[in-house]
Structure 1
Amino acid sequence: MLFFSFFKTLVDHEVTVELKNDISIRGTLKSVDQFLNIKLDDISVVDEVKYPHMSSCKNVFIRGSVVRYIHLPAAAVDTALLEDATRREAAQASARAKQS
């Protein structure tokens, strides 16, 4: 759940989503769910010459299972907050493992 919460903080930021079929789509993140399904507005395709059919699209819904990478703007990532959340999640997992 950590990553789902993290992506929710990036709503209204510009991201680039690289798909498993090698298309990279840049746009404004409008929503994301726990399955990494993504809605982007105001999109552009990174390699528009290779995928001209995508130039007419302005908004897309991307199923999480086809996402390879999500490229984030460095300025939008609060690394201290992310590191703290990761430590807490690891500590909780460790505590659960010791109880078993």
Structure 2
Amino acid sequence: MLFFSFFKTLIDHEVTVELKNDIQIRGTLKSVDQYLNIKLENISVVQEIKYPHLSAVKNVFIRGSVVRYVHLPAAAVDVPLLEDATRREAANEARKRNEK
């Protein structure tokens, strides 16, 4: 759930989504859910010459299962906060394993 919450903080930021078929789509993140289904608006394709049929598309819904990477703007990432949250989640998981 950590990453789902993190992605929610990036709504209205520009991100680049790289798909498993190597297409990279840049746009404004409008929504994301726990399955990493993503809605982007005002999109552009990074290699438009290679994918000219996508130049007319302005908004997309991307199914989470086809996402390879989500490239984030460096300014939008609060590294200390993310590290702290990751440590807390790892500690919670370890605690759960030890209780079993």
Amino acid at match of 2:67: V
1:59-70 map, 5 Å: 59-70=59-70
Structure 1 length-normalised TM: 0.98
1:95 aligned partner: 95
Cα deviation, residue 98, structure 1:
1.0
CA-atom RMSD in angstroms:
0.5
Q: Percent identity?
A: 78
In structure 1, what residue type is equivalent to 2:13? H
Structure 1 residue 51 corresponds to structure 2 residue 51: yes
Q: What are the ranges of 5 or more consecutive residues in structure 2 without an aligned counterpart?
A: none
Are 2:23 and 1:26 equivalent residues in the alignment? Answer: no
- Helix, strand or coil: the match of 1:91? helix
Residue 59 of structure 1: CA displacement? 0.3
Which amino acid in the other structure matches residue 12 of structure 2? D
Runs of 4+ in structure 1 displaced over 6 angstroms? none
Q: CA deviation at 1:29?
A: 0.3
Residue type at the aligned position of 2:76? A
Q: What is the CA distance between 1:70 and its match in structure 2?
A: 0.5
May I ask how many residue pairs the two structures share in their alignment? 100
- Determine the C-alpha separation between the residues in 2 that align with 1:95 and 1:39: 35
